[in-house]
Amino acid sequence: MSAAGRRCDRRLIQPPSAASENSVRPRLRAAWTLPQEAALRHNGGSTERGERSMTEQQRDLLSQLAEVLGDKTAVIEDLPDGRKRMWSFAEFEAQANRLASLLVEHGAQPRDKVIWCGQNSPWVVAIIHAARKIGVVAVPLNYRLTEEEAAYVVDNSDAVLAFVDAEFAGLFQGIRPHTPQLREVLIYDGTPAEGQLAADELIPSMDASELALRIEPGTAGTMIYTSGTTGKPKGAVRTGIGDPEQIARMIEFYGYRPDDVYLTTGPLYHSGPSGFMAIAQMLGNTVVLQKKFDAEDWLRLVDTYKVTSSFAAPAPVRMICNLPADVLAKYDTSSMRVMIANAAPWSYALKLMYLEHFPEDSLFEVYGSTELGVNTILRPEHQRAKPGSCGQAAPGVEICLFDDDGKPVTDVGKEGELYVRSASVFTTYHKAQDKYEADRREGGWQTVGDIAYVDAEGFYYICDRKKDMIISGGVNIYPAEIESALETHPDIVDVAVFGIPNEEWGEQVHAHVVTRSGATLDAEAVRHFAREHLAGYKVPRSVEFVTEIPRTGTGKILKRDLRKPYWEGHTSRVV
């Protein structure tokens, strides 16, 4: 074992009480098996990656749940206008099998990529399961992207098929000429555009039985695109579906139960909402799908279905808590047992707002990422006692802070770059192995570039970012992509984009712009130009015109110097 491994945090947090052999572990054991050539090998007490295939299913989990739970409600879509769609586990299994057969009929092979695009609905959940059943990699597409951005993701992913909500048929019609490898676009819940296929007409005729396919270990998985520091998004690849022992310990730690009811908060193209929904489905929970977030409607769903668990970024929770008192009083939220706070740091003030309206012991804050999974957890009893902390190392996760010289930080309160080592770390970046390796240290340590320190009790505090990233409303935004777009404007000669504090969204995108001599460009013109090339959430909310962008001798923008005056008075430079 390396010196770094000996000196770093290898705490394995135990559940709040001794874990009983309830239905959690047996269900996971029934669903998974550890092959002889396991993804995790234990060598002298340290944990090292093997083939990086992670653990594989013995048999499809949804098929097993359908056999055991049958008529129990698996998914609910309950729209504000009164439209409702409910599938039992048996119906869900049949629909996923039909969809899997449709993908195979249109040429999908194991390890192929299939893009899906749509707001939260039963079919979005079905495509995730259908892809796994046939060893296909499911790739979600953020429907808020422009045609230019979407075309890049679809083309870069090598997707051969697309499964798309009719609402976004026009988007895919626009990008089709730029994605030659995309063989078919299957449109669901509505009418396809010219050259697309109507999945609604094709799915009912497909076989509803489970396909007799043998999927090799390391075949199925997901690929979620994250914004890139160099201007283009990268596909974070995960093979397999995780280590059952680590997942079981996480489930016990949160106190999840088989009778929980999970409510989606935010789009399922994000790794957080989809990842915690997957845990709920592993346990046979009923999942309530909110198609598009609305604060009062979210409360209605909690009250109607007695929701017990959810996952949320700060922005939607702030909207909920800021509703008028008479609106909040209309709905019963006492059923909520497990609220996972993530996607961006929740301020201490927001936590107190949440606790005014929801059970005191329901709030868990986690620190994690698409690439690294869940790394730390702050339990309910520590929310008030440890303001600003993101918690202690999660079950099965090792954490190490490294200084700029690559040495482990051992002093309490001293900042270092946070690295983790666990079974939940992703496999690689699609077509960007070099980017993956750049964030990796010897011994299997991986980072996303956050700076942290740890106190004497092992609680971590994220205080800065080594990487140039903005988190606004729980969404990761990389300035390089925005800078690249703005630099194509003929009147802009230099630009620097960075995050500044925003009470509602955590951070907002701010741009410093240098124009050519004689240009009459104003802030609204800059924003309009950005809007033509970028998704709306990436457009700078504020623009400041300057005469010069400060740079190092090698030409690198001094972002920390630019951010500093805006963040004075804030205890953390990321909240």
Residues 283-338: tens digit of each pLDDT: 999 999 999 999 999 999 999 999 999 999 888 898 899 899 999 999 999 999 99
The more confident residue out of 166 and 240 is 166
The 10s digit of each residue's pLDDT in 3-44 is: 344 356 654 444 444 333 345 555 555 544 332 222 222 223
Q: CA dist 385 to 49, 91, 410, Å?
A: 36, 46, 23
Does the structure show a pLDDT above 50 at 155? yes
Question: 56-239 adopts what CATH topology?
Answer: Rossmann fold (3.40.50)
Domain boundaries, the chain: 56-239, 470-567
Q: Is the dihedral of CA 43, 49, 51, 52 positive or negative?
A: positive
Interval 329-350: pLDDT, tens: 999 999 999 999 987 778 787 8
* Equal fold, 56-239 vs 470-567: no
Cα 122 from Cα 92, distance rounded (Å)? 8
Are 345 and 314 in contact, with CB atoms under 8 Å apart?
yes
56 pLDDT higher than 50:
no
Tokens, residue 123:
């079919």
| 125 pLDDT more than 70 | yes
* pTM over 0.95, yes/no: no
**Mean pLDDT to the nearest integer, 165-185:** 96
- Which tokens belong to 178? 């730029």
Q: What is the mean pLDDT of residues 517-539?
A: 91
Q: What is residue 5's predicted lDDT score, i.e. its pLDDT?
A: 40
Q: Which residue has the higher pLDDT, 45 or 30?
A: 30
**How far out from the chain centre does Cα 552 lie?**
34
Q: Residue 515 is encoded by which pair of tokens?
A: 């124009």
Domain 470-567 fold is GMP Synthetase; Chain A, domain 3 (3.30.300)
pLDDT for position 400: 96
pLDDT 10s digits, 405-423:
899 998 998 889 999 999 8
DSSP 339-368: EEE-SSPPPHHHHHHHHHHS-GGGEEEEEE
SS3 21: coil
Gap between the Cα atoms of 175 and 169, Å rounded: 10
Confidence of residue 469 (pLDDT cuts 50, 70, 90): confident
Predicted local distance difference test score (pLDDT) of residue 172: 97
Q: Tokens at residue 237, please?
A: 């690849």
What pLDDT does 1 receive?
32
Where are any strands of DSSP class E within 190-333?
197-198, 221-226, 234-239, 261-263, 286-289, 309-312
- The answer to whether the CB of 511 falls within 8 A of the CB of 495 is yes
Which range has the top average pLDDT, 67-76, 224-233, 546-555?
A: 67-76
Two tokens at 276?
């915690």
* Percent with pLDDT over 90 in the chain: 59
Residue 191 pLDDT level (bands cut at 50, 70, 90): very high
Provide the mean pLDDT of the chain.
85
CA distance 447 to 252: 26
Residue 555 has pLDDT above 90, yes or no: no
CB neighbours of 36 closer than 8 A, spacing ≥ 6?
Answer: none
pLDDT tens-digit map of 347-398: 787 888 899 999 999 999 999 998 999 999 999 999 999 988 999 999 999 9
What's the pLDDT score for residue 2? 37
Residue 7 pLDDT: 52
Lowest mean pLDDT of 80-89, 468-477, 521-530, name the range: 468-477
Among candidate residues 382, 345, 344, the one with its CA nearest the CA of residue 363: 382
Q: Please count the other Cβ atoms lying within 10 Å of the Cβ belonging to residue 14.
A: 12
Distance from C-alpha of 38 to C-alpha of 55, rounded to nearest angstrom: 7
Count CA within 13 A, CB hemisphere, residue 58. Answer: 12
Tell me how far CA of residue 217 lies from CA of 105, 129, 239, 247, in angstroms. Answer: 23, 16, 9, 19
Q: What token pair was written down for 219?
A: 């075949």
289 near 84, Cβ under 8 Å?
A: no
**Distances in Å between the alpha carbon of 484 and those of 152, 229, 355, 505, 533?**
15, 11, 42, 24, 10
Distance CA 453, CA 464 (A): 10
Percent share of the chain, pLDDT over 70: 85
Q: What are phi and psi of 160, to 5 degrees?
A: -100, -20
Interacting residues of 157 by C-beta distance below 8 A, sequence separation 6+: 113, 115, 139, 223, 225, 235, 430
